[in-house]
Structure 1
Amino acid sequence: MPHRVANFFRSSNDSITNNIKASVQRRKSPGARTRTTTSREGSTRSISYASSIEDDAEQDHAQSRFHSTIFAPPVKMPESAKEKEAAHHHRLSFPGLHLGGSKSSKDQTQHPSASLGWKIESPPAVMYGDTETSTGALVSGQMQLAVKEDFEVESFEAWLYIHVIQKRPFQNHCNDCANQKTELKKWAFLAEPTTLSKRLHEFPFSALLEGHLPASADHSLVAVRYDFIAEVKPKSGPTLKLVKTIDVKRSLSVPENPHHSVRIFPPTNIAASVHYPQVIHPIGSNTLTLRLDGIVKTNSDVKTVEYWKLKRLSWKLEEHLNIVAPACQKHMPKDAENGEAPKKGVKRTDARTVGSADLSSGWKSDYSPSGNVEMELEYQCNPSSKAVCDMKSRDGTEITHQLVVEMVVVQEYAPINQPKNITPTGVARILRMHFGTVVTERAGLGVSWDNEAPPIYQDVPPSPPAYLCDIPYEAVELGPSSSERNSEDVQ
């Protein structure tokens, strides 16, 4: 039987057709055998006849295998290591074609004759104090233009911008509504064509960031950053460009004594006395001291004592953002009467939790007639939330924080003679407290730039007192000069 299948696959298309016809005829005469015929062209044709019903079934199975082999899709065989290597070497590549992906970090124009860099000489830009009293931050440094050979420069300029990025702009998919840039400073290092020799050329620069400006921030609705851009336009070749970001922070002074707050929760007699720091930092732990008074009440008429027991305490730090997304000139609606475009924007608000915890123990309870509950609560910002410091700017952007403390108290009562027989009344209350909190950066060892600067001419203290003479200057008799004395000596 295997030789029949082999002959079947080696036969031509005509033999396939003849085999099918012969198999049909053989079904009618099962006693026939296989015979071979020779055509006029000399080719030998092998015709198979089924000798039994089993052979007929095997023949049909071979035909079905043949059809499945002819019409089945080609199966890709696994490549060998050499074939894979050859295919890899013959693979076409297009280095200039980028199909998506982020830009490279070295996305700056290079020039064969020069390179541009900078060096910051001032300490980190930190504004000390609030927006009303701060004198700002001073930024100074040097632009470094390294020239490898004689380099002809048409112009060399630099700019400092404050860049506000609206993540939910006034009009979606509008670049002008999403980006607002304001020029703070401009430098013209080389305003006319100049030929620079082969060496390192340094150009000093400095800028004072005024105290009312906002600090750098990155929130879900808005981002504020300071962009420094420098451009060198050579006579020939690509333009040298340097783009840097200056991180500006704000630090507020921390009071020496914690803030004290007293809250009363009617209709109960519970009073909460809280001591907490009003100014905290994004990194670090803070302590809140809590004391609850009025948790025990004696009813002399019915001879019972009521207790308010603290069952659970939770705290969370909330961050609130209020901004105004302005409209660009294109999408700003115009006044029908004057035809002018008044300033218009849409208000955006957002709130999130930057730290939280739930506590079911950790306090001391005293249920004597003058009973109270005392505890010290440790709270901090979650580092993974990346809390943004408090900010308030003139464009309407405001970021604030508050600490929310919630306590669940349950009422119970017991007879005065048997204080251990406590029975719950089924009454429970939630005591909620809100505390305004300011999140700011640490000041470190730095002080404001105006305290570090040397005194100017007007600040120099007065010189020692001058000696006054009552005799007028014209009446003073002057002695002979040195030339007159020499002439008298010669005589």
Structure 2
Amino acid sequence: MPHRVANFFRSSTQSLENQVSILTKKTAGSTARRRDSPSSKRRSPRSSDQIFTYASSIEDTDDSHAPPYTPRLIMGESRSSSFSSDSQQKDPAHHHRISFPGMHFGRAGKDSHITANVSLDWKLESPPIVLYGDAETSTGALVSGQLFLNLKEPDVEIESFNATLTLHVTQKKPYAPHCHDCAHQLNELKTWSLLPQPLVLTKGQHSFPFSVLLDGHLPATMDGPLVSIAYEFKAEAVPRSNGVSLPPIKFERVLDVKRSLPASELPHHSVRVFPPTNVKASAHFPHVIHPIGSNNLTLRLDGISRNNTDNGTIEYWKLKKLTWRLEETAKTIAPACARHCPKMAEGAEQEPPKKGMFRTDTRSIGEKTIFSGWKSNYSSATDSTVELELDYNLAKHGKWACDTKSNDGTEVTHQLMVEMVVSQEWAPANKPALVSHTGVGRILRMHFATILTERAGIGISWDNEAPPIYQDVPPSPPAYTHETFGGEDTIAEVIEPLDHAIGDVTQRRTSSEGR
């Protein structure tokens, strides 16, 4: 067995040495032929090409501890020549070049140079885009600004310059899954042709104004679990050089459109009775809330005690836990594209098939549970109350959407849910301090409709910013008549001119008094 292992290592070493020696001879022969070729004489001695050759340790070195083969670096030769085929080595005039087919270094020409020196920018001059009022009464929002075309070179020809404003609705649960047309609906609101014909522009910054009035029935920007609505502004400038159109310069931005609903001055009042008990809840809360800030709800419970004359006891309903939660309900209709829209059979007398799928989703955007903090009064069986004030708001890092209702079926509503857990206790009428638990409990739930909207701040609708028009003022100032100044006096004698000297004015007054 040991002799077989020794023979295996000896044969492997000899075969490896033979392969290395053959490779060295081929490399040496290729080097000699390349040195003799006429093309090698014209090559620069500072060539960056490198080659590694492998030589046997038995022939080139006497060190027994050296590795079986060591790399040698020969400058001025191509690395690919050592690994070339025999057919390539037979041709002394064959040149070895390294190519990179997957790498693109771009076009080094005048076209790419002109495109790189053209840029687009913008500036919105209108206030934040807010739609004041609901969809039925809102007059919309005015958007105005300027587009800037920056040229770093003189005399650049611009073939066309256009801009568009698009309402992009994305259905996150489309009618047909994995269908792009069912998931995306685009509605072009406005198009601007900033350059009606090709024009040669000079170096510098060129401004192009634009404006649009967004209708009041349009939805606000939102990003919910079912649908997202975005207003996309896109501009495109196409430069031209020598009659050939170059790649366009594109500019894209997203407009943030909000809606602000008016809030009532007085808080909303709601009363709820929970049969079969006599508990009555009275709540005061704001009907309109805002995403930022805290809101206050005042709650009062009456009828929480009852005098049982048959048994001579008093029954109490004591509050143990209260939970409030803000819920958001989103409803939308996912439309079907032309390819997936169901078609009615010919000759069938029935209602046309639905061209959309109804979607709904409910999520919590704020929640808290409290176990104390209210005032309880159980002094008498006829006048026992529980009063509390709680602050509720939206979660800090939660996602939410304001109330909206659009023509395509998208609707977002909110409600405040208050849940109270009460337990029943009893005590003798003559000893009300001896309270005992009955083991009976109830859950009292209340739902309050709430409107979530953006703050209006100090902004007003665009149509209220116009100055007032006075109908009684004539188009020109009134004319002076002779009757106003008493007959023959003229306006020059009544009004003192400013360019005259003081002496002339005094003399004129004296002459006027003598008359």
Q: Could you tell me the TM-score, scaled by structure 1's length? A: 0.72
* 1:276 equivalenced with 2:281 (yes/no): no
- Matched residues in 2 for 1:377 and 1:218: separation? 29
1:288 aligned residue: 297
Q: Secondary structure of the residue that 1:263 maps to in structure 2? A: strand
Q: Could you tell me the TM-score, scaled by structure 2's length? A: 0.68
Distance 1:341 1:243, change over 3 A: farther
1:153 aligned residue: 158
* 1:346 equivalenced with 2:350 (yes/no): no
Pick which of 236-245 and 434-443 moved more: 236-245
AA at the equivalent of 1:154: E
- Matched residues in 2 for 1:110 and 1:14: separation? 69
Return the match for 1:191 from 193, 196, 209: 196
- Matched residues in 2 for 1:161 and 1:338: separation? 39
**1:281-430 matches, cutoff 5 A:** 281-337=290-346, 344-369=355-380, 370-430=383-443
* 1:131 equivalenced with 2:141 (yes/no): no
Return the match for 2:258 from 249, 271, 289: 249
AA at the equivalent of 1:111: T
Q: 1:289: Cα distance to partner?
A: 0.4
- Matched residues in 2 for 1:291 and 1:110: separation? 74
1:46 aligned residue: none
Pick which of 125-134 and 295-304 moved more: 295-304
Q: Is the 8 A contact 2:234 2:253 kept in 1?
A: yes
Deviation string for 1:243-295 (max 9, x for gaps)?
A: 11100001111222110100001111110000011111112111100000001
AA at the equivalent of 2:444: L
* 1:219 equivalenced with 2:219 (yes/no): no
AA at the equivalent of 1:284: G
AA at the equivalent of 1:308: W
Deviation string for 1:144-173 (max 9, x for gaps)?
A: 011222111221111111110011111111
Deviation string for 1:174-215 (max 9, x for gaps)?
A: 111111011111111111111112221111100011110000
AA at the equivalent of 1:195: V
Return the match for 1:266 from 275, 279, 293: 275
* 1:113 equivalenced with 2:117 (yes/no): yes
Q: 1:12: Cα distance to partner?
A: 6.1
2:144 aligned residue: 140
Q: Secondary structure of the residue that 2:320 maps to in structure 1? A: strand
AA at the equivalent of 1:233: V
Return the match for 1:240 from 242, 249, 261: 249
Deviation string for 1:88-146 (max 9, x for gaps)?
A: xxxx996669xxxxxxxxxxx99223211111100110111111111111110011011
Distance 1:199 1:342, change over 3 A: farther
Deviation string for 1:205-230 (max 9, x for gaps)?
A: 00011110000000111000001111
Q: Secondary structure of the residue that 2:357 maps to in structure 1? A: strand
Deviation string for 1:276-335 (max 9, x for gaps)?
A: 111111121111000000011112232211111011111111110000000111111223
2:75 aligned residue: none
Distance 1:93 1:360, change over 3 A: farther
Q: Secondary structure of the residue that 1:306 maps to in structure 2? A: strand
Distance 1:302 1:153, change over 3 A: same
- Matched residues in 1 for 2:373 and 2:139: separation? 45
Deviation string for 1:467-490 (max 9, x for gaps)?
A: 9x9xxxxxxxxxxxxxxxxxxxxx
AA at the equivalent of 2:362: A
CA RMSD of aligned residues (A): 2.9
Q: Secondary structure of the residue that 1:254 maps to in structure 2? A: coil
Distance 1:201 1:13, change over 3 A: closer
Q: Is the 8 A contact 2:115 2:239 kept in 1?
A: no
Distance 1:239 1:454, change over 3 A: farther
Deviation string for 1:330-385 (max 9, x for gaps)?
A: 11122323899976100001011111111111111001220100000111110211
Gaps of 5+ in 2: 13-99, 106-112, 482-515
Report the count of equivalent residues: 377
**1:451-466 matches, cutoff 5 A:** 451-454=464-467, 459-464=469-474
- Matched residues in 1 for 2:439 and 2:323: separation? 21
Q: Is the 8 A contact 2:403 2:414 kept in 1?
A: yes
Q: Is the 8 A contact 1:319 1:401 kept in 2?
A: yes
Q: Secondary structure of the residue that 2:397 maps to in structure 1? A: helix
- Matched residues in 2 for 1:110 and 1:462: separation? 60
Q: Is the 8 A contact 1:110 1:240 kept in 2?
A: no
Distance 1:265 1:153, change over 3 A: same
Q: Is the 8 A contact 1:283 1:383 kept in 2?
A: no
1:476 aligned residue: none
Distance 1:416 1:185, change over 3 A: same
Gaps of 5+ in 1: 17-91, 98-108, 470-491
2:212 aligned residue: 207
Report % sequence identity.
56
Q: Secondary structure of the residue that 1:387 maps to in structure 2? A: coil
- Matched residues in 1 for 2:359 and 2:135: separation? 22
Q: Is the 8 A contact 1:327 1:343 kept in 2?
A: no
Q: 1:15: Cα distance to partner?
A: 10
